[in-house]
Amino acid sequence: MPRQIRLNAFDMACPGHIQQGLWTHPDDQSTRMNDIRYWTEHAQRLERGLFDGIFFADILGVYDVFGGGPGDALRGGVQVPANDPSLIIPAMAAVTRHLGFGVTCNLTYEQPFLFARRMSTLDHLTGGRIGWNIVTGYLDSAARAMGMKGQIAHDDRYDLADEYMQLVYKLWEGSWDDDAVVMDRARGLFADPAKVRAIRHHGPQYSVEAMHLCAPSPQRTPVLYQAGSSDRGRRFAAEHAECIFLNGQKKDDVRAIIADIRARAAANGRSAESVQPFLGATLVIGRTEAEAQEKFAEYRRYVSSDGALVHAAASLGIDLARFDLDEPIETGRGEAIQSNIDIVAKAAGPRWTRRKLLEQMVLGSRQAPWVGSAERIADTLIGWSEETGVAGFNLSRTVSPAGIEDVIDLLIPVLQEKGAYKTSYAEGTYREKLFGHARLPAEHPAARHRGTA
Amino acid sequence: MPRQIRLNAFDMACPGHIQQGLWTHPDDQSTRMNDIRYWTEHAQRLERGLFDGIFFADILGVYDVFGGGPGDALRGGVQVPANDPSLIIPAMAAVTRHLGFGVTCNLTYEQPFLFARRMSTLDHLTGGRIGWNIVTGYLDSAARAMGMKGQIAHDDRYDLADEYMQLVYKLWEGSWDDDAVVMDRARGLFADPAKVRAIRHHGPQYSVEAMHLCAPSPQRTPVLYQAGSSDRGRRFAAEHAECIFLNGQKKDDVRAIIADIRARAAANGRSAESVQPFLGATLVIGRTEAEAQEKFAEYRRYVSSDGALVHAAASLGIDLARFDLDEPIETGRGEAIQSNIDIVAKAAGPRWTRRKLLEQMVLGSRQAPWVGSAERIADTLIGWSEETGVAGFNLSRTVSPAGIEDVIDLLIPVLQEKGAYKTSYAEGTYREKLFGHARLPAEHPAARHRGTA
């Protein structure tokens, strides 16, 4: 019996998410991003496919590194315009019962007190189905939008994030006891003040004296996701994250990252199973190999290479427009994105060029798709799951919703036949479905703040 | 033919909103505030009643003036716990087509760039049905939650708000031209960069250099509500607000406030009709007078006088717990809440006491209900509408949803018979329904920023 594979739909409220240009495909509906029914229909579709969750990426700025301005990002719809994903989730939650929701929220620019309330409200309204992808922001354009000259240095952002986490843990876990809400109509007693505490936090970055505004939500702390790949990012993940996002084309690389983060987590007293890795993947599936290849060839006709370069330039912090096709690209920009550069250099060879990069970006991004019959893709996923220990996959949007419909109609039945995919949802909250327990375990740093605010 | 009366349901995601204690009534369902279906059912109910909108109040702190702590607020569920209302709206929007949504958002603690995006996303997802109640916050407890020692001084808050408004106007009205989004699949052209501009704002409080992240939404700027009653508050309303909230028990007072704000608006070059006043009201309706009085007597058995005092103490900034029942209450606290004190003193007489205050708070707040047969309440509303020029009423929650069901089943048919209430929704956005035009008129300060960021 193979390991059970979890699937998240990886999405974003914008025209071009990972695979750039596919919004121009005649079947693509992602341009309906402003239409609430596009999202409620999609939620019902994903629940029909027993997807574990939908995961929303987000950015707070615009990609303006390529060509020194946002022109090409706008032309290609490269993650712009981008609506606030947290506001889509309540509508999707109202038409589903099991689907989980991961949402990327940048903590750098939001008051922790307000952010904690927003997540608790989402956890209540979804019945305990919310997850948070913790990001600290990497775009200068976002920083300038918030009145700063530029981005905070990479490691300083993580220090700020560590303090932020302590603060929101106090609000989520420490401010209200489990039995604080009495709701006794006969006595007119809504909550017992002896069981509600103001938190008092005075740190280098934040000062908060307040009780949390929300009553205890089903999960308290949302399921915590993180995607940092730098040394400091992995240290942060090993302390806080329950799920981690990985990207990688080689099993050895992915295995090594997982082993490293789990070893760090163990050093923090956490169990290996308390960190579940999800691998980013793009699938192009057919009933047969030939059908899959045909679909791939057809999708490729709509790819935007410029769009792919716009996104890559922002991730790398290098204006790729300034280089000729075969001119060697020197790296050099600071630690913020060094790990991205390392990955690219490793994949493309030390003397990497725009041409080499473009050759990799076969479907509009550096994430090369897995193309094949449902049977073969199922074996690929099972192989990765068995050999690397990834808990599941974040499936990047291709042509929407046709790509997800292929997963549901073609791939999932095969995975189910092979015993590698659930045939019904488990009951319980998002964390219960993923980990079997409702609350963060005692060894997680959030647990320290219970009952002690 | 009488004037058409507009109705908003005035609500809040908390147990006790205006009329304190009624959550203890056996029929009351407001304690289902964490359940998304409570809200979607309510949205459908309000749309069945052709309500113009639901209006969400909000606070970012807890009422801790009474007794010097939050104990009584927690015991009585007096606006605590309080979920984030903006996250409820998408779920309600997904199951309705016409209902408008007003949401109270305090601008003091949110980055204007992120807030502007949140409102634009809501305007998109609701199909142009969003309104914003602009507040600047008055609770010390909220300020302490955000790392400040106490609240910013009243008039300084409004100065900050003026700058904030200029900023969000630039983002909403100035950053994208109407025809910036091309969405041309054949050319792979999503947006025309020549028609999208970064705004550059460097003011005393805020610096923002950024293009708005959202494409133009149906209304651009949400319908603007404001409730300030102080001199500075009225000045702000006269410049920015399209709808104003009023409270008042006497027609002369209400007429005078409307005349004053409209005169100030006219001095700003705005037309009188560009400001629509809504009066707060609480209704207890029966098929007959006797049934209404019986219902009123029954509701009163569930009222919490302590809860009412907790709310009043916070609004007045006076710890009413420190005064004996008949001890004269001296005022004195600063301008922030002076207008509230003036109103209370005027209503209760110069030597006002806790007892006099309690005598006014017959249903759990200082807003005394109008009690009567549907016929009589209809005449009351029509009388107020005709004699004061209010555009409509914000109906405070009583027993939920029974109170709203009485409005829909008993009152509205009578209003319709009298020709004072619509029999179907008009088409169009919230602003089109309220004012007949989709965008803010040219004389509104937001219009200055069109095409010029």
Which H, E and C letters describe chain B, residue by residue? CCCCCEEEEEECCCCECCCCCHHHCCCCCHHHCCCHHHHHHHHHHHHHCCCCEEEECCCCCCCCCHHHCCHHHHHHCECCCCCCHHHCHHHHHHCCCCCEEEEEEEHHHCCHHHHHHHHHHHHHHCCCCEEEEEECCCCHHHHHHCCCCCCCCHHHHHHHHHHHHHHHHHHHHHCECCCCEEEECCCCEEECHHHECCEEEECCCCEEEECCCCCCCCCCCCEEEECCCCHHHHHHHHHHCCEEEECCCCHHHHHHHHHHHHHHHHHCCCCHHHCEEEEEECEEEECCHHHHHHHHHHHHCCCCHHHHHHHHHHHHCCCHHHCCCCCCCCCCCCHHHHHHHHHHHHHHCCCCCHHHHHHHCCCCCCCCCEEEEHHHHHHHHHHHHHHHCCCEEEEECCCCCHHHHHHHHHHHHHHHHCCCCCCCCCCCCHHHHHHCCCCCCCCCHHHHHCCCC
- With CB atoms and an 8 Å threshold, state whether B36 touches A86: no
The answer to the question of whether B28 is labelled as a binding residue is: no
Residue A120 to residue A218: CA distance in whole angstroms: 9
Q: Which residues of chain B does A37 touch, with a Cβ-Cβ cutoff of 8 Å? A: 94
A383 has pLDDT over 90: yes
Q: Which residues of chain A does B400 touch, with a Cβ-Cβ cutoff of 8 Å? A: none
- Average pLDDT value over all residues in chain B: 93
Q: Is B80 on the interface with A (CB under 8 A)?
A: yes
- Show which of residues 40-79 on chain B sit within 8 Å of chain A, judged by CB atoms: 40, 60-62, 69-71, 74-77
**Residue of chain A with shortest Cα separation from B207:** A147
- Name the pLDDT band for A155 (thresholds 50, 70, 90): confident
- With CB atoms and an 8 Å threshold, state whether A124 touches B34: yes
Beta-bridge partners for B393? B7, B279
Residue A307: inside a domain: no
Give the pLDDT confidence of B28-86 residue by residue, as tens digits. 999 999 999 999 999 999 999 999 999 999 999 999 999 999 999 999 999 999 999 99
Q: Which residues of chain A does B113 touch, with a Cβ-Cβ cutoff of 8 Å? A: 60, 145-146
Query: H-helix or E-strand containing A146?
Result: none
Residue A437 to residue A295: CA distance in whole angstroms: 41
| Nearest CA-CA distance, residue B108 and chain A, Å | 11
A339 has pLDDT over 70: no
Beta-bridge partners for A22? none
- With CB atoms and an 8 Å threshold, state whether A190 touches B144: no
Residue B216 to residue B11: CA distance in whole angstroms: 29
The answer to the question of whether B158 is labelled as a binding residue is: yes
pLDDT at res. B337: 56
The answer to the question of whether B229 is labelled as a binding residue is: yes
- Show which of residues 284-313 on chain B sit within 8 Å of chain A, judged by CB atoms: 304
CA A321, chain centre distance (Å): 28
Q: Is B209 on the interface with A (CB under 8 A)?
A: yes
A122 has pLDDT over 90: yes
- Show which of residues 169-208 on chain A sit within 8 Å of chain B, judged by CB atoms: 181, 183, 185-186, 188-193, 196, 198, 206-208
Taking residues A129-148, what's their average pLDDT? 87
pLDDT at res. A437: 94
What is the greatest pairwise CA distance in chain A? Answer: 79
Cβ-Cβ contacts under 8 Å between A and B: the total is 229
- With CB atoms and an 8 Å threshold, state whether A80 touches B206: no
Q: Which residues of chain B does A82 touch, with a Cβ-Cβ cutoff of 8 Å? A: 213-214
The residue among A42 and A337 whose pLDDT is bigger is: A42
- Name the pLDDT band for A452 (thresholds 50, 70, 90): low
- With CB atoms and an 8 Å threshold, state whether B36 touches A94: yes
- Name the pLDDT band for B259 (thresholds 50, 70, 90): very high
CB distance A443 to A270 below 8 Å:
yes
Taking residues A364-382, what's their average pLDDT? 96
Question: B155: domain range?
Answer: 6-287+370-445
Q: Which residues of chain A does B81 touch, with a Cβ-Cβ cutoff of 8 Å? A: 181, 191, 213-215
Residue B444 to residue B453: CA distance in whole angstroms: 16
Taking residues B240-263, what's their average pLDDT? 93
Q: φ and ψ at B133, to 5 degrees?
A: -90, 110
pTM of the shown model: 0.97
Residue A386: inside a domain: yes
Q: How many domains does chain B have?
A: 1
- With CB atoms and an 8 Å threshold, state whether A121 touches B84: yes
Residue A342: inside a domain: no
Taking residues B228-238, what's their average pLDDT? 88
| Nearest CA-CA distance, residue B365 and chain A, Å | 16
The answer to the question of whether A271 is labelled as a binding residue is: no
- With CB atoms and an 8 Å threshold, state whether A147 touches B207: yes
B332 has pLDDT over 70: no
- Show which of residues 330-389 on chain B sit within 8 Å of chain A, judged by CB atoms: none
Q: Is B12 on the interface with A (CB under 8 A)?
A: no
- With CB atoms and an 8 Å threshold, state whether B13 touches A189: no
pLDDT at res. A137: 75
Q: Which residues of chain A does B89 touch, with a Cβ-Cβ cutoff of 8 Å? A: 87, 90
pLDDT at res. B143: 86
Residue B58: inside a domain: yes
pLDDT at res. B230: 84
Out of A40, A87, A89, whose CB is closest to B122?
A: A87
Taking residues A296-316, what's their average pLDDT? 96
Out of A40, A75, A186, whose CB is closest to B189?
A: A75
Residue B294: inside a domain: no
CB atoms within 10 A of CB B321: 16
Q: Which residues of chain B does A31 touch, with a Cβ-Cβ cutoff of 8 Å? A: 183
**Residue of chain B with shortest Cα separation from A183:** B31
- With CB atoms and an 8 Å threshold, state whether A34 touches B94: no
- With CB atoms and an 8 Å threshold, state whether A145 touches B209: yes
Q: Which residues of chain B does A208 touch, with a Cβ-Cβ cutoff of 8 Å? A: 144-147
Query: Which of the residues B83, B122, B172 would you substitute to probe the A interface, choosing the one with the greatest number of A C-beta atoms within 10 Å?
Result: B83
Residue B346: inside a domain: no
Beta-bridge partners for A396? A10
Query: Which of the residues A83, A177, A301 would you substitute to probe the B interface, choosing the one with the greatest number of B C-beta atoms within 10 Å?
Result: A83
Residue B119 to residue B437: CA distance in whole angstroms: 19
Residue A172 to residue A449: CA distance in whole angstroms: 9
pLDDT at res. A37: 98
Q: Whole-angstrom distance between the N-terminal and C-terminal Cα of chain A?
A: 46
Of A253-262, B135-144, B275-284, the one with minimum mean pLDDT is B135-144
pLDDT at res. A392: 98
pLDDT at res. B147: 81
- Show which of residues 87-106 on chain A sit within 8 Å of chain B, judged by CB atoms: 87-91, 93-95
B453 has pLDDT over 70: no
Out of A40, A122, A208, whose CB is closest to B145?
A: A208
**The CATH number of the domain where A190 resides is what?**
3.20.20.30
Residue A353 to residue B257: CA distance in whole angstroms: 69
Q: Which residues of chain B does A90 touch, with a Cβ-Cβ cutoff of 8 Å? A: 36, 87-91
- Give the angle subtended at the CA of B404 by the CAs of B399 and B408, to the nearest 5°: 150
Residue A127 to residue A142: CA distance in whole angstroms: 32
Residue B388: inside a domain: yes
A347 has pLDDT over 50: yes
**Residue of chain B with shortest Cα separation from A146:** B208
**Residue of chain A with shortest Cα separation from B180:** A74
A290 has pLDDT over 60: yes
Cα dihedral: B310, B315, B317, B323 (round 10):
-40
Residue B358 to residue A301: CA distance in whole angstroms: 74
Out of B77, B81, B91, whose CB is closest to A91?
A: B91
Residue B248: inside a domain: yes
Q: Which residues of chain A does B62 touch, with a Cβ-Cβ cutoff of 8 Å? A: 210-211, 213
Q: Cβ-count burial of A103 within 10 angstroms (0-12 exposed, 13-18 middle, 19+ buried)?
A: buried
Give the pLDDT confidence of B358-393 residue by residue, as tens digits. 998 999 998 999 999 999 999 999 999 999 999 999
Out of A76, A126, A207, whose CB is closest to B190?
A: A76
Out of A62, A93, A198, whose CB is closest to B211?
A: A62
- Name the pLDDT band for A70 (thresholds 50, 70, 90): very high
- With CB atoms and an 8 Å threshold, state whether B111 touches A114: no
Question: Which residues have a Cβ under 8 Å from the Cβ of B253 and sit 6 or more positions away?
Answer: none
- Name the pLDDT band for B452 (thresholds 50, 70, 90): low
- With CB atoms and an 8 Å threshold, state whether B90 touches A95: no
| Nearest CA-CA distance, residue B357 and chain A, Å | 21
Taking residues A40-66, what's their average pLDDT? 97
A337 has pLDDT over 60: no
Task: Kindly state the tokens that stand for A242.
Answer: 């329950």
- With CB atoms and an 8 Å threshold, state whether B74 touches A113: no
Residue A167 to residue A173: CA distance in whole angstroms: 10
Please state the three-class secondary structure of A402-416 as a single string: HHHHHHHHHHHHHHH
Give the pLDDT confidence of B104-161 residue by residue, as tens digits. 999 989 999 999 999 999 999 999 999 999 998 768 888 888 887 777 787 788 888 9
CB distance A87 to B125 below 8 Å:
yes
pLDDT at res. B199: 95
CB atoms within 10 A of CB B449: 20
- With CB atoms and an 8 Å threshold, state whether B87 touches A213: no
pLDDT at res. B336: 47
Distances in Å between the Cα of A151 and the Cα atoms of A156, A157, A265, A273, B183 are 10, 9, 28, 34, 32
Task: Kindly state the tokens that stand for B70.
Answer: 């939050």
The answer to the question of whether A230 is labelled as a binding residue is: yes
Q: Is B36 on the interface with A (CB under 8 A)?
A: yes
Out of B83, B118, B147, whose CB is closest to A87?
A: B118
The answer to the question of whether A86 is labelled as a binding residue is: no
